[in-house]
Structure 1
Amino acid sequence: MRASRPTVPARGFTMIEVLVALAIIAVALAASLRAVGMLANDEGELHRRLLAGWSADNALTEVHLMREWPDLGVVTFDCSQGNLPLVCTERVSATPNPIFRRVEISVTTPGRSGDLAQLVTVVANETNRGL
């Protein structure tokens, strides 16, 4: 006579458990893809802002190197960097001290609203100064 062995329950996952696991993985992958897409978009905006900052810095350096008393008013000019079209706006205004003028450079992209970069400096009147 043979002794009967106890039956061992089958091991493994049910179909519902597998589907739930797949759904969780799909949600995690979708969130990862969205995050990577946002990072790529942010990198492009950072690059545009970097180039705009260089343009604004170049414009202010040019004002300092000319050593001329800037005229009051607003001037707009092209200040493109690389293949990125940029427009610089230079605003010169008076200060409470008549020896200085405030120079503000704003950089924008044509057709888009908002400034990509903005720098401000104060220029002294070097023309009437004795050595």
Structure 2
Amino acid sequence: MIRRQQGFTLLEVLVAVAVLGVAMAAIIKASSEMTGNAVQLRDRTLASWVASNVLTELRIDRVWETEDRDGETRMAERDWYWEAEIQSTPNPALRRVDIRIFSDPDDTDAITVLTALLADPERQEMDIPPAPPDDEGL
């Protein structure tokens, strides 16, 4: 009685290794893309926070002139570079400000752009709204 050996042939093993290699390459590519996306998302989030901080500083400083400004801010152990372009609007009580955030001072493409309005500090009223009526008599 002739006994056949049980197991895989060399060709079957090579095909299995090739399929495994293609699958591993796809997994590595997907992982690197996800890592790149996470880094980009983190940078855009931080840049948005920097832009919000710059806008708040402009409002606190009561900026009204239409000259452009630029600067550097440190956040999350990184330096961020920003430009604020201030323009007049058809409404004389408002100015438009476009704040662009860069990760490098030589960059031409902004990571994020925040557009907002600045109110004329001379026209802003500091009125405190009246207190709501007291409902004790009901």
**Residues 1-131 of structure 1: matches in 2 within 5 Å?**
10-66=5-61, 68-110=62-104, 111-129=106-124
Q: Which moved more, 1:120-129 or 1:32-41?
A: 120-129
RMSD over equivalenced CA pairs, Å: 2.0
Q: Partners of 1:19 and 1:80 in 2: how far apart?
A: 54
1:73 Cα deviation after fit:
2.2
Paired residues of 2:93 and 2:123 also in contact (CA < 8 A): no
3-state SS of the aligned residue for 1:40?
helix
Q: Which has the larger radius of gyration?
A: 1
| Percent of aligned pairs with the same amino acid | 27
3-state SS of the aligned residue for 1:98?
coil
Across the two proteins, how many residue pairs are aligned to each other? 125
Give the residue type in structure 2 aligned to 1:34: K
Paired residues of 1:87 and 1:108 also in contact (CA < 8 A): yes
TM-score normalized by the length of structure 2: 0.79
3-state SS of the aligned residue for 1:114?
coil
Structure 1 segments unaligned to the other structure (5+ residues): none
Deviation per CA, 1:85-125: give whole Å up to 9, x if none: 21110110010111111011110111434111111111121
